[in-house]
Amino acid sequence: MRASLDSTVEKVLVRILLVDDHEVVRRGVRALLEAQPGFSVCGEACDGRTAVELARLTTPDLVIMDIGLPLLNGTEATRRIVQKIPGVRVIILSMHHSEQLVREALSAGAAGYVLKSDAAKDLLAAIEAVRSGVPFYSALVAELTGALPEEGEELHGKVRSPLTPREREILQLLAEGCSNKDVALVLGISVKTAETHRARIMRKLQVDSLADLVRYAIRNGVIQA
């Protein structure tokens, strides 16, 4: 009878994947979570591509995701994880909170957005909220979400990206300094295909140089300056 009673009051274990390219941040968040009953960190990733693969392998209940990740940014990683794992919840944990980044993260399927500066007081509340199906935003982000236009509308004159998700992925790699050969190796495609994608991206964005691509990527939140 005692064992049966204990099992009924035991908290449900929530499996969490941590994604941030700074080890000190992952350590801090992990310590915060593991100090609470019912939370278990099932994996850590330092880039977006590893995050997607780890999510596929570990099927976490919750992902805490940075935005400014190498190889694949947090927005694109969120989109892929939400598509691949039914029921998973993603909370963005970032130092950035521009309208554009918030819009893109929510459109990708993020259930919450917490600023790193507010993590100590907001992160646990965010986890409990999104697990209950309620979106959670840090105060500054909440102010932005109230002002964001409806889906499909322009955001202060900025139209949606003309690039496909694959093209945005390649744009990020190029902006991070990858050559066409590097892009081909990372994505498992031919160098010729990588070259074709690069030419199409430059044509769509109406730019003539790699420097212009980098500026576009920074301006549109594909990479962080």
User: How confident is the model over 106-121, as pLDDT tens digits?
Assistant: 889 999 999 999 988 8
User: What mean pLDDT do residues 188-204 have?
Assistant: 91
Alpha helices per DSSP H over the chain: 2-9, 23-34, 48-58, 74-84, 99-108, 119-131, 139-147, 165-175, 180-187, 191-205, 210-219
User: Does the pLDDT of residue 159 top 50, yes or no?
Assistant: no
Residues 193 and 132 in one domain: no
What is the Cα–Cα distance from 28 to 30, expressed in whole angstroms?
5
Whether residue 194 is contained in a domain is answered as yes
First to last CA, the chain: 60
H-run or E-run covering 35: none
Whether residue 87 is contained in a domain is answered as yes
- Which residue range(s) make up the domain with 176? 165-219
User: What mean pLDDT do residues 172-186 have?
Assistant: 91
The answer to whether the Cα torsion of 154, 155, 159, 161 is positive or negative is negative
User: What mean pLDDT do residues 130-152 have?
Assistant: 76
Of 31-45, 71-85, 158-172, least confident by mean pLDDT is 158-172
Residues 120 and 174 in one domain: no
**Residue that is last in its domain, among 89, 116, 147:** 147
Residues 117 and 207 in one domain: no
Name the one residue in this structure whose structure tokens are 């278990």: 40
What is the reported pLDDT for 12? 63
Whether residue 7 is contained in a domain is answered as no
Instruction: Say which residue, 209 or 89, is predicted with more confidence.
Output: 89
Residue 218: name the closest of 210, 108, 185 by CA. Answer: 210
What is the reported pLDDT for 5? 39
What is the reported pLDDT for 2? 40
Q: In total, how many domains does the chain have?
A: 2
User: Does the pLDDT of residue 41 top 70, yes or no?
Assistant: yes
Name the amino acid, one letter, at 161: S
DSSP letters spanning 61-122:
SEEEE-SS-SSS-HHHHHHHHHHHSTT-EEEEEES---HHHHHHHHHHT-SEEEEGGGHHHH
**Which of the four pLDDT bands, split at 50, 70 and 90, describes residue 152?**
very low
**Residue that is last in its domain, among 121, 147, 173:** 147
User: Does the pLDDT of residue 135 top 50, yes or no?
Assistant: yes
- The model carries a pTM of 0.79
User: What mean pLDDT do residues 197-218 have?
Assistant: 89
User: Does the pLDDT of residue 217 top 90, yes or no?
Assistant: no
User: Does the pLDDT of residue 63 top 50, yes or no?
Assistant: yes
Name the one residue in this structure whose structure tokens are 């576009």: 216
User: Does the pLDDT of residue 160 top 80, yes or no?
Assistant: no
User: What mean pLDDT do residues 1-12 have?
Assistant: 45
CATH of the domain at 195: 1.10.10.10
What is the Cα–Cα distance from 58 to 44, expressed in whole angstroms?
11
Instruction: Say which residue, 157 or 34, is predicted with more confidence.
Output: 34
What is the Cα–Cα distance from 101 to 222, expressed in whole angstroms?
9
Instruction: Say which residue, 173 or 144, is predicted with more confidence.
Output: 173
User: Does the pLDDT of residue 154 top 60, yes or no?
Assistant: no
Share of the chain above pLDDT 70, in %: 87
